[in-house]
Amino acid sequence: MYKYNDFDEAFVRERVAQFTEQVERRIDGSLTEDEFKPLRLMNGLYLQLHAYMLRVAIPYGTLNPDQMRQLAMIAERWDKGYGHFTTRQNIQFNWPQLTDVPAMLGALADVEMHCIQTSGNTIRNVTADHFAGAAKDEIADPRPVAELLRQWSTDHPEFQFLPRKFKIAVTGAEHDRAVIRAHDIGIQIVENDKGERGYRILIGGGLGRTPMIGKVVRDFLPEADLLPYCEAIVSVYNLLGRRDNKYKARIKITVHETGIDEIRAMIEDRFALLRPTFGGGDRQIFAEIQDAFAPPVFRDADEAPFVAARADDPVFRAWADTNLANHKRDDHAIVSISLKAHGATPGDATAAQMRAMADLAERYAYGELRISHEQNVILPHVARADLPAVHAGLKEAGLATANIGLISDIIACPGMDYCALATARSIPIAQEIATRFDELKLEHDIGQLKIKISGCINACGHHHVGHIGILGLDRAGVENYQITLGGDGTEDAAIGTRTGPGFSADDIVPAVERIVGAYLEHREGADEPFLQTYKRLGMAPFKAALYPEAQEKANAA
């Protein structure tokens, strides 16, 4: 894992010192709120519905056990004993007091963490495949690329005041677990037919008010050209991007209005100018970063204890069959820890749970933890022999829910329970759906089904790419939920299609039940997942199930 060098350490400490003084000046009246607001946002401090909220960057979702324990300490000392992991692989604390934030930033700096560029119109925390370095289908670990981009984009003088926020995601595998097609820049590590490593670069993806799937701007970018090319993209966007209208300011609109071919030509021109100015320093840094991400020394382990536990213990078997993914080594597995216990808040972990995960990572997972954009925690490398012990430890901490990828593994943004921008609540809807399908004991039969819920049009809950997407709106002073179907966040990315009129808070769970009922009725056997049934049949059977009155009316006419 990357360790801060002297420059990183000094930079983060200096920012803590600066912000400490800025808070003092705000409180003593030397700074107005208008002056202070951009400064606090640059340090990840929002003012939400009930309190301040501090968003902590977790670069490419990677944490070590000491960092996780420090997050637990911060949650207990300055917050209310829990944290919320987000769809940007970050963590948010929902209850800090303004006067405590400098101390919280200091505590983060103690473990090489910060909140810089977790807000504002800058390049945000770079995200990556949460199975990075472990996945069987991976060409290369995407985290060195993400770390190089983090170093380049942090405090980049040209990119502190972009037209709008800017999000980059990196994957090292063909199967996209990082939703790169819904990012301002999506990067996929690829190899060309000569076996040379490089990148496929996409731009202009994004969700929000105007959802768009990213377009390929370069099919193969040589490895050495990554930073100058990314700088060219952001530089062209910085000039072209609209500053007259917040809703048209993201690069997806710039690409849409300019056209991919024209913007590609502009990027190539800019790239030709920038490339010679990089001079190879970036290459040397990249090589050093790659060393820092060398895989752990894996132990050889007989998987007999795993096989025995799987045969003997049905609870372990259910968990193993649902929450494990293939590791690049056959005697290891990737463990997904569900933060979606039925009825719990998606993405929340208590301080005790954070410590339990840190301890398990230290003992059984070579000291590595990841946060997924799906708001779960990953132990990327666990010897199969140790899985029964890991499962026992998770069970004790209330973290052994066997539902990864299933209907209760829901992404939900904080919604109007916390967020000042929200138009409706998301969390209670997620809780009710999970509780309902747990009661029905149907979720393992239903199989792979991703529900994603956003509490406003900004789509932090990725509802557009949910197999079932739910968007909470304010309709004449009442919470109302629109449904989309057929969204997909993978390499086959698709924006979901709206079913029709929305549903009240009381009617949304029964509506989801009717959709699932239609799926179970129409699927071609248990091997056909929801999304495939939807692709095969289209909207009609789901619409008929959702709006039976309309159907009756049509039949009568």
Which residues of the chain form contacts with another protein (CB under 8 A)? 26-27, 29, 32-33, 47-52, 80, 94-99, 345, 348, 416-418, 425, 427-428, 431, 474, 477-479
Nearest residue (CB) to another protein, 33 versus 300: 33
Q: Are 266 and 229 in contact (CB under 8 A)?
A: no
Please report where in the chains the tokens 């390499």 appear, as a residue. Answer: 491
Nearest residue (CB) to another protein, 49 versus 318: 49
Nearest residue (CB) to another protein, 425 versus 523: 425
Task: Give the nearest distance from C-beta 348 to another protein in angstroms.
Answer: 8
Task: Give the nearest distance from C-beta 55 to another protein in angstroms.
Answer: 14
d(CA 96, CA 492): 40
DSSP class of 452: E
Task: Give the nearest distance from C-beta 416 to another protein in angstroms.
Answer: 6
Nearest residue (CB) to another protein, 318 versus 473: 473
Task: Give the nearest distance from C-beta 436 to another protein in angstroms.
Answer: 16
Q: Are 289 and 148 in contact (CB under 8 A)?
A: yes
Task: Give the nearest distance from C-beta 346 to another protein in angstroms.
Answer: 10
Q: Are strands 45-47 and 215-222 parallel, antiparallel or unpaired?
A: unpaired
Q: Are strands 62-63 and 82-85 parallel, antiparallel or unpaired?
A: unpaired
Please report where in the chains the tokens 């012990």 appear, as a residue. Answer: 389
Task: Give the nearest distance from C-beta 423 to another protein in angstroms.
Answer: 8
Q: Are 183 and 169 in contact (CB under 8 A)?
A: yes
Count of other CB atoms within 10 angstroms of residue 95: 18
Count of other CB atoms within 10 angstroms of residue 233: 26
Q: Is 3 exposed, middle or buried (0-12, 13-18, 19+ CB in 10 A)?
A: exposed
Nearest residue (CB) to another protein, 97 versus 551: 97
Nearest residue (CB) to another protein, 52 versus 547: 52
Nearest residue (CB) to another protein, 216 versus 421: 421
The angle subtended at Cα 401 by Cα 468 and Cα 333, nearest 5°, is 95
In the chain, the largest separation of any two C-alpha atoms, in whole Å, equals 76
d(CA 4, CA 59): 12
d(CA 357, CA 67): 11
CA 37 to chain centre: 26
Nearest residue (CB) to another protein, 31 versus 360: 31
d(CA 14, CA 29): 23
DSSP class of 369: E
In sequence order, what E strands does 15-147 have? 45-47, 52-56, 62-63, 82-85, 91-93, 127-128
Q: Are 282 and 222 in contact (CB under 8 A)?
A: no
DSSP letter string over 363-415? Answer: HHSTT-EEE-TTS-EEEEEEEGGGHHHHHHHHHHTT-----TTSTT--EE--G
Nearest residue (CB) to another protein, 83 versus 205: 83
Written as one letter, the residue type at 25 is: R
Q: Are 183 and 168 in contact (CB under 8 A)?
A: yes
Nearest residue (CB) to another protein, 49 versus 240: 49
Nearest to 407, CA basis, from 268, 270, 259, 530: 530
Task: Give the nearest distance from C-beta 533 to another protein in angstroms.
Answer: 32
Nearest residue (CB) to another protein, 40 versus 450: 40
Task: Give the nearest distance from C-beta 98 to another protein in angstroms.
Answer: 5
Task: Give the nearest distance from C-beta 505 to another protein in angstroms.
Answer: 10
